[in-house]
Amino acid sequence: MSRTKLKIEKISKNFRVNGTLLPVLNALSLDVHEREFLTIVGPSGCGKTTLIRIIAGLEETSSGRILIDDMVINAPSKKIGYVPQEFSLFPWKTVEDNIKFGLKINSVKKEEINEKVKELLDLIGLSSFKDYYPKDISGGMRQKVAIARSLAINQTLLLLDEPLRSLDAQSRNKLQNDILKIWKKSKRTIIFVTHNIDEAVYLSDRIVVLSSLPANLKKIIPINIDRPRDRTSSEFNLIRKEILNLIYYINIS
């Protein structure tokens, strides 16, 4: 039984919109296990990104709290890496310099930096692209660099907010495997957000289904199929169907 990496305790979040209070998250509680691959799915606009940003320390909760390794989060933590949906690499820096960034501002020694960066470039398979600028590499590559950037400073929890959203189907599948590979090798905990149920079932140890606004936890579905998973197998489809139904009912209710 692995430790709890992240403990979400009854968090609620309200936004003030045009003078009225809009509840987005409603008393959400969840335990994330160390080294697990957890995916969060739910209807559009149900507050997934808000949840991620709260975990990243970029937003405050209206009530409740979140603990990482038993410490309360109230600001961006060096333990938690954040790869947002949008383009997030520093466009004026090369791939290599982007990965170096976290190391540099945390005053790591030069030789250590170079070693680490080399390691990570190998891990994500982009060694030959280290001098390229973000604008010259593909979307999938960019996301891998963003992940490497977090790994560089040993961020043990990675938050990936729909990272493969803008990729085509083929690149998407490839990236999914790359991410699994990186996850396995780096032994990190990953919280992954996606709309794509297929993707969620393919990647995760557990899937958290959120309801629509205000979001609360609908169900947690564990997936015990061994990896690499066959997308066409009956077990796979069973789980997929279950989740689709859940979301369908959420949508019509």
**Interface contacts to another protein, rule CB under 8 A:** 53, 56-58, 76-78, 80-82, 84, 86-88, 90-92, 101-102, 104-108, 133-135, 146, 149-150, 153, 155
Question: Judged by CB, which is closer to another protein: 5, or 206?
Answer: 5
Rounded Cα distance between 121 and 130, Å, is 8
Question: Judged by CB, which is closer to another protein: 5, or 218?
Answer: 5
Give the type of residue at 210: L
Rounded Cα distance between 103 and 18, Å, is 42
| Other beta carbons within 10 Å of 152 | 23
Question: Judged by CB, which is closer to another protein: 104, or 185?
Answer: 104
Instruction: In angstroms, give the least distance from the CB of 44 to another protein.
Output: 20
Instruction: In angstroms, give the least distance from the CB of 197 to another protein.
Output: 26
Instruction: In angstroms, give the least distance from the CB of 221 to another protein.
Output: 28
Rounded Cα distance between 150 and 155, Å, is 6
Question: Judged by CB, which is closer to another protein: 16, or 109?
Answer: 109
3-state secondary structure at position 101:
helix
Question: Judged by CB, which is closer to another protein: 188, or 218?
Answer: 188
Instruction: In angstroms, give the least distance from the CB of 204 to another protein.
Output: 22
Rounded Cα distance between 144 and 83, Å, is 10
Residue 68 neighbours by CB under 8 Å, 6+ apart: 5, 6, 7, 77, 79, 80, 157
User: What length is written for the chain?
Assistant: 253
Rounded Cα distance between 253 and 19, Å, is 27
Instruction: In angstroms, give the least distance from the CB of 163 to another protein.
Output: 13
Rounded Cα distance between 191 and 79, Å, is 13
Question: Judged by CB, which is closer to another protein: 146, or 207?
Answer: 146
Instruction: In angstroms, give the least distance from the CB of 33 to another protein.
Output: 22
Question: In sequence order, which ranges of the chain are alpha helices (DSSP H)?
Answer: 48-55, 95-105, 110-124, 139-152, 169-186, 197-203, 234-252
Instruction: In angstroms, give the least distance from the CB of 137 to another protein.
Output: 10
* C-alpha count within 13 angstroms, C-beta hemisphere, residue 90: 12
Question: Judged by CB, which is closer to another protein: 80, or 208?
Answer: 80
